[in-house]
Amino acid sequence: MEDLTQEEWAEQLANDDNAVVLDVRTDAEVADGIIPNAIHIDIQKGQGFIAEIDELDKSKSYYVYCRSGNRSGQACHIMEQLGFEKAYNLEGGMLQWTGDVVDLE
C-alpha cells in the first residue's frame, strides 16, 4: 500500500491504464457525490466488504478513497492481505479532494 497526496494520486491515476477508483465510504457519504467512474464498496459492511473486494481483478491498480483517508488506508491493508499488489490510498480523502465529483442520481 502506498499513501499518495492528492496531486500524486490524480497524476498517477491519469497515467494508469489499469486503474480502478474505489470508494469505500458509506451510502450516506456517497450520496454527497463520488469521484467520476469510481466503484463503491462500503468498508463498514465487514465480511461483505471483504467478499466483494476479493472478487475484484487483483492484476489492476486500485486508487482507494474515503472521507478522510483513514478507512481507505484500512481498505488498502485488507486488499494487500487478499493478494492485491497495487492499492493506493488517497491522503486526506474527500475532505481535501479538489478534483471532479459527480452525483450518483
Which residues are catalytically annotated? Answer: 66
Contact assessment for residue 69 and residue 91, using Cβ atoms and an 8 Å cutoff = yes
Distance CA 105, CA 95 (A): 21
The rounded distance, in Å, linking the Cα atoms of 39 and 54 is: 14
Q: At what angle do helices 70-81 and 47-54 cross, to 10 degrees?
A: 60
